[in-house]
Amino acid sequence: MPLALTPDDARTVADALRAAEHSVKHYMDENYNQDQHKISRAEYDSLYEFCQTLLCLSNDATTAAVGLSLDALAVPVVELKGVIEEANQKIKTLTKISSVMSCVSALVNLATSIIDRNPGAIVTSVNKLRHAIRA
């Protein structure tokens, strides 16, 4: 039976996984340095692999949380994907750094709006991204 999660539940899990990943990185930094090796290189490498796994899982959980939120908000995901893909294609053809920065900034604003689950900001961000693409 699938686990029923609300968007907030999925976000809580994602945040907890991310916090665990940060704790492991902190442990690695504190216990493996040039002067004193409290852990071996092999142990460091193993911990690094676990960190990468936790990071991927936290990203997957974040994606699930955002997806659940978008479903709950009835935001047209196809439209979001389309404008993001359009921006991606546009960036590949731009030659002026100011144009690239404008598109990237608009993409960051859109991603932030989605993560914040703010429908009004999502609409505004999509419009700003479309403007940046056409500029």
Predicted confidence (pLDDT) per residue in 57-101, tens digit: 777 767 766 666 666 554 466 777 888 889 988 888 887 777 888
Are residues 95 and 120 located together in one domain of the fold?
A: yes
The pLDDT value recorded for residue 67 is 66
User: 68 with 7: CB under 8 angstroms?
Assistant: yes
Return the number of other C-beta atoms located less than 10 Å from residue 61's C-beta.
Answer: 21
The pLDDT value recorded for residue 5 is 61
Are residues 35 and 53 located together in one domain of the fold?
A: yes
- Is 2 within a domain? no
Q: What is the mean pLDDT of the chain?
A: 77
- Is 1 within a domain? no
Are residues 40 and 82 located together in one domain of the fold?
A: no
Are residues 81 and 130 located together in one domain of the fold?
A: yes
Last residue of a domain, one of 20, 47, 73: 73
Last residue of a domain, one of 58, 73, 88: 73
| Domain count within the chain | 2
Give the domain range for residue 110.
Answer: 77-134
- Is 64 within a domain? yes
Rg (alpha carbons) of the chain, rounded to whole number: 19
Are residues 69 and 81 located together in one domain of the fold?
A: no
Q: What is the mean pLDDT of residues 126-130?
A: 90
- Is 14 within a domain? yes
The pLDDT value recorded for residue 46 is 84
The pTM of the full predicted model, rounded to 2 decimals, is 0.50
> What separation, in Å, do the N-terminal and C-terminal C-alpha atoms of the chain show?
49
**Paired strand residues for 32:** 37
Q: Which residue has the higher pLDDT, 103 or 117?
A: 103
Instruction: Name residues whose C-beta falls within 8 Å of residue 21's C-beta, 6 or more positions apart in sequence.
Output: 51, 54, 55, 58
Last residue of a domain, one of 73, 89, 106: 73
- Is 103 within a domain? yes
* Model confidence at 1: pLDDT above 50: no
Are residues 46 and 68 located together in one domain of the fold?
A: yes
3-state helix vs strand vs coil in the chain, percent to 5: 80, 0, 15
Cα separation of 65 and 14, whole Å?
Answer: 8
